Amino acid sequence: MVSQKRNPLDIAEMERLRFIDHLSLQEIGNRFGISRQRVLQILGSTGKMAMDLEDKINSIPDLYTLSVAEVTEIIGCDPGYTHQALNNYSNYSTYNINVLRKLKEMGISFTRLSKGVILINGKHKVKISQAGTTCKTSPKTVSPQYHFNNRTKENLDFFIFYISTTEDFFIIPFNLIADRMDIYFCWPTKRLSLGKFQQFHNRFDLLE
């Protein structure tokens, strides 16, 4: 049987998809109509290492509630390789981890649907978002002002806004922000009465 040599341009494209775009071996195989194992053979030892790491990471329960350091300790490899491997997991980010950990601590069940979107208690479709860079202080208060983006086109029930600097959570009904692309509010607020969004601080009870 005559072995078929693959076009060098295909190999370069595979390497780009793997190490720049961070696609999984299976995703690359699907694009080229070949098996995951064949992609591994083409990419050589670097691909073998990547597949081994993926297999170990995929076997970790509650992966999306663990930090990079905790994942590294479990799979026993260099933190740099762990970090690179985790780039292939679209929901793996520090702010997602903190939100999902909080939900787990509170006994709230969830499943991942897509990037940053989870289904809570089997009924609430929720998008997780992290505050952007702290905006300038509002002229009416001395509190920092935070910015959140709403770029989703999905039909959601809630947004969970997470402010990493203060470790605060806001569970906001989606119908309040469905027609707004940018959400700004101050936190911690200095007002005696809470504003439109501040009133949803730590309102995890809404997800029951």
Mean pLDDT of 116-133: 89
Give, in order, the Cα–Cα distances in Å from 34 to each of 8, 11, 183.
Answer: 16, 13, 45
Residue at 192: amino acid letter: L
Same domain, 119 and 193: yes
Signed CA dihedral, 136, 140, 141, 146: sign only: negative
Same domain, 42 and 100: no
Structural domain contains residue 112: yes
State whether residue 174 is helix, strand or coil: helix
Confidence of residue 123 (pLDDT cuts 50, 70, 90): very high
Which CATH number covers residue 116? 3.40.1350.10
Structural domain contains residue 38: yes
Structural domain contains residue 169: yes
- Last residue within a domain, chosen from 86, 115, 149: 86
- Last residue within a domain, chosen from 86, 115, 150: 86
Same domain, 25 and 48: yes
Distance of alpha carbon 51 from the chain centroid? 21
Same domain, 29 and 102: no
pLDDT for the residue numbered 192:
66
Structural domain contains residue 2: no
Distance CA 132, CA 135 (A): 8
Question: Which own/partner pairs from 72-78 qualify as long-range (CB within 8 Å, at least 24 positions apart)?
Answer: 77/53
Q: Which of 164, 170, 154, 58 is nearest to 114 (CA)?
A: 154
Structural domain contains residue 67: yes
Whether the model pTM is above 0.85: no
- Last residue within a domain, chosen from 20, 53, 86: 86
Distance CA 185, CA 144 (A): 8
Distance CA 84, CA 51 (A): 12
| Domain encompassing residue 28 | 8-86
Domain count across the chain = 2
Same domain, 148 and 81: no
Same domain, 57 and 122: no
- Give the model confidence (pLDDT) of 46-88 as tens digits: 556 666 777 888 888 888 788 888 888 888 877 777 777 776 6
Structural domain contains residue 120: yes
Same domain, 99 and 196: yes
Residues listed for the chain = 208
Per-residue pLDDT for 2 more than 50? no
